[in-house]
Amino acid sequence: MLPTLLLNYPLWASVIAVVITQLTKVLWNYKVRGTWEWNWLIQTGSMPSGHTAAVTSLATAIGIQEGWGSPLFAITVILAFIVMYDAAGIRRHAGIQAQVLNRLMEDVAGVLKEMRHLKDISPRETGTKLKEILGHQPIEVATGALVGILIAWLVHLVWS
C-alpha cells in the first residue's frame, strides 16, 4: 500500500500545490505587512487560495493521468468548482459577517463600559473574537487555480 501511495501522482501534485501556496502566503503577507507571520502556513484566506490550488491541481493531474474525458476528471472538476465557489462566495461572506459582528461586539463592550461608570452594572463577556479572514477575493481564487494547474503540469514533467 505505501509504495502505491508514494507513486500516486495526483495526490502528490495536490499536496505540493498546497505546500507551495501556503508558503507563498507567508511571503505575500510579508510583502504586504512587512512582518513574518508563520501562522499563514496553516491559515485560510489571503493570496493565493490553497484550497483552490489543491483541487485544481488534483483535477488537472487526474485529467493528465486518466484522460480529459474520463468520469474521474469530471468528478474532480465539479469538486474544484464547488470549492472555488465556496472560497470566493460563502466563506468570503462569512468573513465579512464576522468583521461586522466583531465591530458590533466592540461597540457594545464600549457602551457597557461607559454605562458601568454611570450605574453599578458589570458587563457580560463579549466572547471570543470571530475569525474574519475565511474566504478569498476572486483574484486570490483565480491565482490559486492557475498555481494549481501549473504545479500539476510541472509535477507531471518531473514525475514522467
- Average pLDDT estimate for 67-96: 85
Tell me how far apart the alpha carbons of residues 14 and 63 are, in angstroms, rounded to a whole number.
13
Q: Which domain holds residue 50?
A: 2-159
Looking at residue 34, its pLDDT comes to 84
Evaluate if residue 19 carries a pLDDT over 60.
yes
Q: What is the CA radius of gyration of the chain?
A: 21
Evaluate if residue 152 carries a pLDDT over 90.
yes
Evaluate if residue 11 carries a pLDDT over 70.
yes
Q: Which three cell numbers stand for residue 66?
A: 486518466
Stretch among 18-27, 29-38, 102-111 having the lowest mean pLDDT: 102-111
Greater model confidence, 3 or 56: 56
Number of domains observed in the structure of the chain: 1
Q: Are 62 and 87 in contact (CB under 8 A)?
A: no
User: CA angle, corner 158, sides to 143 and 73, nearest 5?
Assistant: 60
Query: How many CB atoms are closer than 10 A to CB 83?
Result: 22
pTM score, whole prediction: 0.73
